């Protein structure tokens, strides 16, 4: 079992403020999980009793809208932490978390987290800062979805995906999404997303290599995302 003191996640979020003793306690009590592509790590409406630390892999956070259609709220990668709000609020999970590829995840029990909150004020403060940042991100998303045309939202989404996941060896955005998933991210029909992607390719702004997307003209995408 991996030692928390040597984990990539130690460099992120509130975990970086933990003492060696606290990290050791997490290491002794955590559970290591393998989540296969397509499986849910969290399910909307269910309770969770701890934090999920994503060691490696990629996943999507989704919510069903009133029509029963999936809306993708956020993408997650290795180094991110899930479940912070539920631990402090004692509320059920508000989103589904589904693996986009095989993932390695560590689960830290709620009791250990709450004990550390009581003992380590800096950990508690950073945890609240992380939650505040997530709420700001959610508010920004709602604003963008309401105000921006779908073409602008697609351009911004492609820029965000490249920023989050980087590029693979071929220079493509290093995450593979279906056209339906792209549509669910920007809030449009799959057919519309396919047409918009094709138009961006025709304009020489992106290239489509199977399901992969390669950004060819980032400045043009930035201009589109800003409505120019």
Question: Which among 23, 124, 122, 102 has a CA at the least distance from the CA of 55?
Answer: 102
For the chain, the residue count is 228
pLDDT of res. 7: 63
**Domain final position from 145, 168, 191:** 145
Same domain for 122 and 214, yes or no, is: no
Same domain for 92 and 168, yes or no, is: no
Query: Are 33 and 104 in contact, with CB atoms under 8 Å apart?
Result: yes
Q: Can you give the CATH number for the domain in which 101 is found?
A: 2.60.120.10
CA atoms of 35 and 174, how far apart (whole Å): 19
pLDDT of res. 75: 95
**Domain final position from 125, 145, 165:** 145
Same domain for 46 and 137, yes or no, is: yes
Q: Which two tokens stand for residue 88?
A: 């402090």
Same domain for 44 and 134, yes or no, is: yes
Token pair 């996943």 is found at 59
CA atoms of 189 and 191, how far apart (whole Å): 5
Same domain for 180 and 217, yes or no, is: yes
Token pair 């998303």 is found at 141
pLDDT of res. 189: 95
Domain residues for the domain of 69 are: 4-145
Same domain for 108 and 180, yes or no, is: no
Same domain for 132 and 160, yes or no, is: no
pLDDT of res. 14: 64
Same domain for 77 and 164, yes or no, is: no
Distance of CA 117 to the CA centre of its chain: 24
Token pair 């709602």 is found at 142
Element (H, E) at 214: strand 212-215
Same domain for 102 and 197, yes or no, is: no
Element (H, E) at 21: helix 20-29
pLDDT of res. 90: 81
Q: Can you give the CATH number for the domain in which 168 is found?
A: 1.10.10.10
Same domain for 140 and 186, yes or no, is: no
CA atoms of 154 and 53, how far apart (whole Å): 29
Same domain for 162 and 215, yes or no, is: yes
Q: Which two tokens stand for residue 58?
A: 């990629």
Q: Which two tokens stand for residue 48?
A: 């969770």
Within 10 angstroms of residue 4's Cβ, the number of other Cβ atoms is 23
Task: Give per-10-residue mean pLDDT for the chain (228 aa).
Answer: 56 68 84 96 92 94 88 92 85 93 94 89 85 80 77 95 95 97 95 98 96 96 90
**Domain final position from 117, 145, 173:** 145
Token pair 């549509």 is found at 183
Q: How many domains does the chain have?
A: 2
Token pair 């290599």 is found at 209
Reduced to 3 states (helix: H, G, I; strand: E, B; else coil), residue 201 is: helix
Same domain for 195 and 134, yes or no, is: no
Token pair 């020489």 is found at 204
180-209 burial, b if ≥16 CB within 10 A, otherwise e?
Answer: ebbbbbbbbeeebbeebbeebeeeebbeee
pLDDT of res. 198: 98
């Amino acid at each position: 079992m991996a030692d928390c003191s040597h984990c990539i996640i130690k460099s992120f979020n509130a975990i970086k403020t933990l003492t060696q003793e606290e990290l050791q306690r997490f290491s002794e009590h955590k559970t290591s999980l393998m989540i296969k592509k397509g499986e849910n790590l969290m399910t909307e409406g269910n309770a969770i009793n701890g934090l999920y630390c994503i060691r490696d892999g990629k996943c999507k956070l989704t919510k069903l809208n009133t029509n029963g259609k999936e809306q993708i709220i956020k993408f997650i990668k290795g180094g991110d932490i899930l479940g912070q709000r539920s631990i402090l609020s004692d509320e059920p999970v508000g989103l589904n978390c589904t693996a986009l590829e095989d993932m390695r995840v560590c689960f830290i029990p709620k009791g250990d987290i709450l004990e550390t909150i009581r003992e380590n004020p800096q950990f508690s403060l950073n945890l609240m800062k992380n939650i505040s940042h997530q709420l700001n991100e959610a508010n920004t998303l709602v604003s963008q979805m309401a105000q921006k045309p779908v073409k602008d939202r697609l351009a911004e989404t492609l820029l965000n995906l490249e920023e989050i996941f980087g590029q693979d060896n071929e220079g493509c955005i290093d995450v593979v999404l279906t056209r339906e998933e792209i549509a669910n991210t920007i809030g449009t029909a799959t057919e519309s997303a396919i047409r918009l992607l094709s138009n961006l390719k025709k304009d020489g702004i992106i290239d489509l290599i199977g399901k992969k997307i390669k950004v060819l003209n980032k400045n043009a995408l930035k201009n589109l995302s800003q409505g120019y």
